[in-house]
Amino acid sequence: MTDVTLVLNAGSSSIKFALFPAVEGVQEPVLRGKLSGIGSHPRFTAQTRDGTTPNWDAQLPLHPRASHEDLIPALFDWLERHDDGLTITAAGHRVVHGGREHHGPARVCPTLLDDLAELIPLAPNHQPHSLVAIQCLVDAVPRLPQVVCFDTSFHRTQDSMAQTFALPRALSESGIVRYGFHGLSYQYIADRLPETPLGTRSEGRVIVAHLGNGASLCAMRQRRSVATSMGFTALEGLMMGQRCGSLDPGVLLHLLDGKGMSTTELRHLLYEESGLLGVSGISNDMAELEAHPAPEAREAIEMFCYRAACEMTSLATALGGLDSIVFTAGIGENSALVRHLIIQRLAWLGATLDTDANQRNATSITGKDSALEILVIPTDEEGIIASETRRLLSVQPTSSHRTIQQSRP
C-alpha cells in the first residue's frame, strides 16, 4: 500500500484534486485531475504519473445543474473505487480567506469551521465551496486528519502601511484591512525562484503576476510579500475574468442609491458580470477572446493588460524599484499575447521580450537588452498544500490511518 495525501482545491467553477505520496520532499503527484465548468457544462480530466488518463464513470452524470455538493461526494466515491493500492492518510484543502486569526496551515476542527463560515461574505465565490469539500470528507471519513491552507497567509509579512485602508482606525482594528489572496500560488513561486535562471537574484525586487480567471499581483523582496493588488476581498485590483477589479466606491453608492440596485444584485454584478465578460459581452475566457474577431474582444484584452501594467508600476514603487517579473497561472503561463501587451507598456522601464521564447511559453522570455528579467513559471497550489499538510501533521503510516474503503460508513 502507498500512503498518499489527498488535496482538494475547490474554486467557484472548478474542483482541482491530486494525490501526493505522503513522503516529505516528494512533489510529483501519483494522480492529478480537475472537474471544471461547474454550473454550466461540467467536465472531468485526470492523469496519473505514468501518463494514463482514467475515465470518469461515477453514477452521477456531469449534468449542467451538478453543484459542488453533488460532485465532491461523487469524486470521493470515484477515488475510492479507482485508486487500488493507495491509502489516503490525510487531506489538505485550499481556503481562500483565513481572516486575521489564521496565519498558517491549521487542522480542521468544529471551531475552525465556524470561524471560516463567518468569512463567507468576504469570499462568497470560494469560501462556501471549500467548506463543502471539508464537510464531505468529515461525513465520509470522520477519522481522516484534514488541514486547511490559506491564500491570505503569505501576505502577513507586509507592514501596516501596505495592509491598512485610510478609514477610521476603529474599523481597521475591527479587521477591515487588506488581506491579499492567491498566497498559495505566490508561496510556490517564491520557493521555486532560486531554481530558475534568477538564482540568487530571486532575493531581489520581484513582481509575480498570477493571471487567471481570478488575477492579482504580488510584490516580493527576499521572496516575501511586500504588497499585493488584492485587498479586503478578492474583488480589488486587476480586471479579472468576471470581476471588475478596483472601482471608484462612488460607483457603488450610485448603483445602490441612484439605480436602486439591491446588495444581492450588486454582488452579482461585481463578481459574475464584470471583467473580461462584462467588457467584451462575449466571454470570460482569454483564449476564446483572443480567437474572436469582434473589436469588443480585443478591447477587453487590451484593458486587462493596461490595468495589469499600471498596477505593476504601483507595486514597483512599493518595492523601491524592480528587477524581475514572473508570469504564472492560466493566462500568465499560456497567453503570449497578454505577456507581450503588458511588457510593451513597461518598455519605459527597459523591459523587452524575446519574441520567440515568449511564443513558446519558455521559462525565460527576457529580451536580449532587457533591463528586467522576465520569466514564466507554472504554479502548483496543490503541491504547496500537500507539503504544508504533511509538515503540519507529520504524516507517517500508522495503524490509525485507514483506506477509504475501510473508513466509509
Binding site members for substrate = 94
Which positions make up the binding site? Answer: 9, 16, 94, 210-214, 330-334, 381
SS3 400: coil
Number of helices followed by number of strands (H, E) in the chain? 16, 12
Phi-psi domain of 398 (left: phi exceeds 0; alpha: psi -120 through 50; beta: other): beta
Q: At what angle do helices 68-82 and 127-140 cross, to 10 degrees?
A: 40
Cell of 318: 512599493
- Nearest CA to 19 out of 43, 3, 42, 35 is that of 3
- Nearest CA to 20 out of 402, 387, 381, 407 is that of 387
Task: Tell me the C-alpha distance between 267 and 320, whole Å.
Answer: 36
Which positions make up the binding site for ATP? Answer: 16, 210-214, 330-334
- Nearest CA to 119 out of 160, 147, 152, 161 is that of 152
SS3 328: strand
**Inter-residue contact 275 to 244 (CB < 8 Å):** yes
CB-based contacts of 118, cutoff 8 Å, min separation 6? 99
- Nearest CA to 288 out of 303, 300, 272 is that of 300
Q: Which residue is catalytic, options 3, 83, 151, 380?
A: 151
SS3 3: strand
Cell of 76: 470521493
- DSSP letter string over 169-238? HHHHHTT-S-----HHHHHHHHHHGGGSTTGGGGGSEEEEEEESSSEEEEEEETTEEEEES--SSTTSSS
Task: Tell me the C-alpha distance between 141 and 402, whole Å.
Answer: 9
- Nearest CA to 57 out of 77, 41, 73 is that of 77
To the query of whether residue 191 is one of the catalytic residues in this protein, the response is: no
Rg (CA), the chain: 21
Task: Tell me the C-alpha distance between 138 and 146, whole Å.
Answer: 8
* Length of the chain in terms of residues written: 409
Catalytic residues: 151
